[in-house]
Chains A and B, each alone.
Chain A
Amino acid sequence: MTQKPGKLRAEFRTELPSGWAFDEIEARIGPIRDQLFKQIGQPVRRKEDRRLVTGRGRFTDDFSVPGECYAALVRSPYPHARIKGIDPSAALELPGVLAVYTGVDALADGLGPIPHSPVPSTKFDVRLTAPDGEAPFIGPHLLLPIDKARHVGEAVAVVIADTKARAEDAAERVDVDWEELPHVTDSLEAIRPGSPRLWDEVPDNTLVCSHFGDADATDAAFQSAAHRVRAKFHINRVTAVTIEPRAALADYDKASARSTLYAGSGGAVRQKRELASVLGIDPDDLRVLSYDVGGNFGARNRVYVEFGLILWASRKLERPVKFTATRSEAFLTDYQGRDLHTTVELALDENGQFLAMRADNVSNVGARCVSLSPLSKGSGLITGSYHIPVAHLVARAVFTNTMCTQAYRSSGRPEVTYAIERLVEIAAEQCGFDPIDLRRRNLVSADQMPYRNAVGAIYDSGAYEENMDKAMALFQWPDIAARRDDARARGKLLGVGLANYVESSIGSPVERAEIAVSPDGEVEVVIGTQPSGQGHETSFAQVVADMLQMPVEAVTITLGDTDIVSVGGGSHSGRSMRHAGTVMTMASADLLAEARRRAGAEFGTPAEDLAFEDGAFKCRATNRFLTLSDLSTATAPLAVARTNEMHAPVFPNGTAICEVEIDPDSCQIEITRYASVDDVGRCINPLIVHGQSHGGIAQGVGQAMWEDCAIDPSSGQQIAGSLLDYGMPRADNVPSFDCEIAEVLSPTNPLGIKAGGEGGTTPALATVTLAVLDALRPLGVRDISMPITPERIWQALASAREANMQELVP
């Protein structure tokens, strides 16, 4: 990001920094001609489905190795407690128990902390720093702590036994001598002077404090504004609930001194690199396998302590060791999401033109800093889809005695989308504007792209107002009044909530593709992304099939084995289709160039005179042709590799609208209609993209309506420990969705891809909340926090009634 602190204004058609726009000449790929696309854009059925519908998936816990034993963890029951000693003797007496290891043992063996790299690192990410401007202190993430536990559920010892049940039994008999310490779980509490401190190194628990935008210009604009509105929101903490609990199996081969880790994740290459660092071994001595992954949503991107612990234990014991989390362990210790306190202010002129914005965002990173992605992503997007000339943001990250947070589906963007969309709605009501007109007046328009917002993010392309119009048409907006009357006749309160969104997809900048065409016509692509349901085996095959003019059936995508995949950024931040699509396009161009050279030599004609059609080089004016497989031999296979580094972010965007009906007596909410238009840039496979939209919406709706990692502040205990007490989207509480894909191409990559994985989630927190508030507005309700349970509605209605009564009684 190119902000100059102190003097930044939003800018239309902004000048682009070097390396931002894609250059097809520099990339050596030449122009991409859309008319060649036969597979790209088609709803190709997924290649991965057959194994998954027949029970032949390869999920982590499906693997077993002869002689395997099992790990169980001893976890802290306290949010903050000093470890005065750990006595494993009672556990070791049980039959079948092989070992109990503590943090002291790990330290004695030289194990290091997990080398998390929480500060986003591309050239265009916002720069988050410690309050003194230096790199933030992140809290070393040892596999097992030696000083104290800093959150409920933190593992302090690992037990290995020959069966899972025996390991669990033994874990209960490990005696930890605890000294309870004062704790703090809420980030606004944690930054108060005198609050319990998690790390001696970090005063006020504030590891990051950064300013963005132009404070003086913002102050000036606020002072002269006709209208000012202000609101405070908490975007609650939730967790990913991947249906496959996290699991790993470590197998050590003494003869080769190599370890193999079966562990589904968001990218095996990172797991290998970081775990090798923890163990202090050569990365070549570790092979990580990540095949079918039962959901990720961000929670599996980072390394978990258990993965390191079983690798270590299997090397010490020379036995395979398996760990599969229970659902309760997943609730306590999967990396969690959101948990942002935000205070936002908007200044408007008398016509409703937005003039300036202020935001103060406080992100709860938990006991250690695993990722600053949520705070960072949100920071760049505080002004949302709207043109706001100047803004000022204070972004803080705070330690608390809670599980670490991490990027969770659409990291950081649902939070700020919720804030700006609610603020716009409040402005409309308080200042007397129609909320749709107010949005329309202030949306960034297509001809203002590329648009640099007031904190420096450069939006690549998009037709925001068109999205809104299309979504309103899809939603049958003009019929709302009739539907409201109909609902009222049935005793229901109908409400509608609309939200525009824009999000940034950035992600790890390096990706590599290896493409080989075999003499028998099979195309193998090796790539470093890691799907967990996004269908890479299909959509990537579509891209390569079109580039090489081969059938999609001929293309096989290989991923998830670090002995084959050497480089790759994994899957997060909507990066996979864009990064893989780009580097596969480049590698395909390299492969075709080599094939052309070979064909020229075979034909004895200049290579540039050959035509390439239907997967074959044709000698013009003759009927001679050579297919790519003809040009590949066992001794000289047609094979290429290309590594690409790409930093420019893309900005998927769209509009979503939710309709709810509320029963004012039972306070039950039903979502009766949900429409969205999502600009994903070029859509490779609409079947898959629609699926992503649906799932994304459900996940956002889930947070708005049921999901909550509520923490009891007095005990520090997380209240939801199972699927019995953590509300989830289910088949009977979400509707069918009306989704449309918009394709405004991005200039940042050759295929014009943005991203399609997160747009469903990003606006959904806002749409649901605004719909509920719309329904309850006639009864005097103006605010409600997530999750919007029937109990919260009942409370809101009761408070509103009380307030009305007080108004009536002078």
Chain B
Amino acid sequence: MTTVSLTINGDRRQVDVEDRTLLVDLLRETLGMTGTHVGCDTTQCGACTVILDGKAVKSCTILAVMAEGAELRTIEGLADGDTLHPMQQAFCDNHALQCGFCTPGMIMAAVNIIERHGTDIDESLVRRELEGNLCRCTGYHNIVKAVLDVAGKLPRASE
């Protein structure tokens, strides 16, 4: 067992984990933070996306011990009390989620797009950036709309 110290959503945490523990399992199993999901075992689906030291990463492909000293943000830390993060609000407003399973990872990836690119984004950039997050319900149409909505750039009025 190894002790890992990291900051999760602003709280400093110390957790004992087996060396082979994945970061996503530390979140879900050790800490009971089940907002971050697991949809595959090959780093393809992106349901486990979190923001680690300012970068969107897939937490199923990082060992928990590699997050030593890191600052981690997950879906649980995004809203400010009852006030949703603008990306969460845009997902609701644009019906950018159906079953909601990919949503936490999708939102974290989307938040990070805005953080890295600012609001100077267009549909093709958003689509390229979200290529690593799979959604089976929405056909991505409304997800792309939601991200552009946050950036103030909805391309067209049609649904």
Chain A interface residues (CB < 8 Å from chain B): 45-46, 48-57, 59, 61-62, 64, 165, 240-245, 292-297, 326-328, 532-535, 686-688, 690-692, 694-699, 722-724, 728-732, 734, 736-739, 760
Residue on A nearest B131 in the bound complex, by CB: A732
Please pick, from B39, B76, B158, the residue contacting A245 in the complex, using a CB distance under 8 A.
B39
* Residue from the set A49, A243, A697, A728 with the largest chain B CB neighbour count within 10 Å: A243
Report if B127 contacts A (CB, 8 A): yes
Residue among A49, A50, A240, A328 having the largest count of chain B Cβ atoms under 10 Å: A49
Which residue of chain A has the shortest Cβ distance to B74 in the bound complex? A55
Instruction: Chain B residues near A739: list those with CB within 8 A.
Output: 158-159
- Please determine whether B92 and A55 come into contact, CB atoms closer than 8 angstroms: no
Q: In the complex, what distance in Å separates the CA atom of A61 from the CA atom of B37?
A: 9
Query: Given the complex of chains A and B, what is the CA–CA distance between A736 and B136 in angstroms?
Result: 15
* B44 pairs with A694, CB closer than 8 A: no
A145 to B42 Cα, complex, angstroms: 30
Partner of A244, one of B39, B88, B91, B130: B39
Q: Which residues of A contact B159 (CB under 8 A)?
A: 686-687, 690, 739
From residue B136, how far is it (CB to closest CB) to chain A in Å?
Answer: 5
Q: Is the pair A722, B35 in contact by a Cβ cutoff of 8 Å?
A: no
Main secondary structure of the interface of A (DSSP, over half): loop
Q: In the complex, are the beta carbons of B36 and A295 less than 8 A apart? A: no
- The verdict on B72 contacting chain A, using a C-beta distance below 8 Å, is no
Known contacts: A52-B103, A55-B74. The answer to whether A731 contacts B127 by CB under 8 A is: yes
Which residues of chain B are within 8 angstroms of A728 by Cβ–Cβ distance?
134
Contact check, B102 vs A534: say whether CB atoms are below 8 A apart. no
Q: Which of B38, B92, B131, B135 contacts A53 (CB 8 A)?
A: B92
> What string of 1s and 0s marks CB contacts (under 8 Å) between B20-39 and chain A?
10000000100011111111
In the complex where A243-B39, A244-B101, A723-B45 touch, is A695 in contact with B136 (Cβ < 8 A)? yes
* CB-CB under 8 A for A59 and B101, given A731-B126, A731-B140: yes
B66 in contact (CB, < 8 A): no
Within 8 A of A (CB), among B33-80: 33-42, 44-45, 47, 74-76, 78-79
The reply on B139 being an interface residue by CB < 8 A is yes
The answer for the CA separation of A534 and B75 in the assembled complex, in Å, is 22
Residues of chain A contacted by B93 (CB below 8 angstroms): 45
Smallest Cβ-Cβ distance to B155: which chain A residue: A736
Extra pairs beyond A694-B140, A731-B133 (17, CB < 8 Å) = A45-B92, A49-B92, A53-B84, A54-B76, A240-B136, A241-B134, A242-B99, A245-B40, A292-B100, A690-B95, A696-B139, A723-B40, A723-B42, A731-B127, A732-B130, A734-B140, A737-B139
From A165, A295, A328, contact of B137 by CB (8 A): A295
Contacts of B135 in A (CB 8 A): 243, 731
> Interface size of B by Cβ–Cβ distance < 8 Å?
60
Give the distance to chain A from B21, nearest Cβ to Cβ, in Å: 10
Interface string of B143-159 (1 = CB under 8 A from A): 11100000000011011
> How many Å from the CB of B50 to the closest CB on chain A?
11
Given contacts A243-B135, A732-B131, A739-B159, contact A59 B37 (CB under 8 A): yes
Residue on B nearest A739 in the bound complex, by CB: B159
Chain A contacts of B145 at CB under 8 A? 736
A53-B107, A243-B39, A691-B95 known; A48+B100 contact, CB < 8 A: yes
Residue B128 lies at the interface, judged by CB distance under 8 Å to chain A? yes
Q: A54-B35, A695-B138, A723-B45 are in contact. Are A731 and B99 (CB under 8 A)?
A: no
Contact B139 A292 (CB under 8 A): no
Chain A hits for B20, CB < 8 A: 165
Taking a contact as CB atoms under 8 Å apart, the answer to whether A734 and B139 are in contact is: yes
Please state if B134 and A533 are interface contacts (CB–CB under 8 Å): no
Q: Give complex CA distance A739, B95 in Å.
A: 15
B59 CB → nearest A CB, Å? 13
In the bound assembly, the distance between CA atoms of A696 and B137 in angstroms comes to: 8
> Which of B28, B128, B130, B158 has the largest number of chain A CB atoms within 10 A?
B158
Chain A's closest residue to B77 (CB) is A55
- Asked whether B139 lies within 8 Å of A55 as measured between CB atoms, the reply is no
Contact B139 A697 (CB under 8 A): yes
Shortest Cβ distance from residue A66 to the other chain B in the assembled complex, whole angstroms: 12
Q: Quick check: A732 and B139 within 8 Å, CB to CB?
A: no
- Which chain A positions have C-beta within 8 A of B139? 694-699, 729, 734, 737, 760
Please name all residues of chain B whose beta carbon is closer than 8 Å to the beta carbon of A327 when the two chains form the complex.
39-42, 44-45
Can you list 19 pairs linking A and B with CB atoms under 8 Å apart?
A: A46-B95, A53-B107, A54-B79, A55-B74, A55-B104, A244-B37, A327-B39, A327-B42, A327-B45, A688-B95, A690-B95, A690-B159, A695-B137, A695-B139, A730-B131, A730-B140, A731-B129, A731-B131, A731-B144
Q: Please, which residues of chain B bring their CB within 8 A of the CB of A293?
A: 99
Which B residues between 84 and 121 are near A, CB-CB below 8 angstroms? 84, 88, 91-93, 95, 97-104, 107
Complex interface: chain B residues within 8 A of A56 (CB): 35
Whether the pair B101, A535 counts as a contact (CB closer than 8 A) is no
Cβ contact within 8 Å between B38 and A61: yes
Which residue on chain A has the smallest CB distance to residue B103? A52
**CA gap between A666 and B142 in the complex, in Å:** 30
Contacts of A51 in B (CB 8 A): 100
For A326, what are the chain B residues with a Cβ–Cβ distance below 8 Å?
Answer: 41
Q: State whether B33 touches A55 (Cβ < 8 A).
A: yes
Known contacts A52-B103, A294-B101, A722-B41: A732-B95 contact under CB 8 Å: no
Q: Which interface residue of B92, B140, B155 has the most chain A CB atoms within 10 A?
A: B140
Contact check, B140 vs A729: say whether CB atoms are below 8 A apart. yes
Q: Are A52 and B38 in contact (CB under 8 A)?
A: no
- Complex CA distance for A737 and B123, rounded to whole angstroms: 13
Task: Give chain B interface residues in 11-27, CB to chain A under 8 Å.
Answer: 20
Tell me, in angstroms, the Cα distance from A51 to B100 when the chains sit together: 9
Expressed in whole angstroms, the Cα–Cα distance for A294 and B128 within the complex equals 24
CA distance A31 to B41 in the complex (A): 54
Complex formed: what's the CA distance from A57 to B28 in Å? 13
- Assuming the contacts A52-B97, A53-B97, A55-B75, asked whether A732 and B128 have C-beta atoms less than 8 A apart, the reply is yes
Contacts of A730 in B (CB 8 A): 130-131, 134, 140
The residue on A at minimum CB distance from B147 is: A731
Q: Are B38 and A532 in contact (CB under 8 A)?
A: no
Are the CB atoms of A698 and B140 closer together than 8 Å? Answer: yes
Chain B hits for A52, CB < 8 A: 97, 100, 103
**In this complex, what residue of B is CB-closest to A696?**
B139
Separation of A50 and B107 alpha carbons in the complex (Å): 13
Question: What B residues does A737 contact at CB under 8 A?
Answer: 139, 141
Q: In the docked arrangement, what's the CA distance between A691 and B44, Å? A: 23
Most chain B CB inside 10 Å of its own CB: which residue of A55, A165, A734, A739: A55
Minimum distance in angstroms from B153 CB to a CB of chain A: 13
* Given known contacts A728-B134, A732-B128, A734-B140, A695 and B44 CB-to-CB distance under 8 angstroms: no
B134 / chain A contacts, CB cutoff of 8 Å: 241, 243, 723, 728, 730
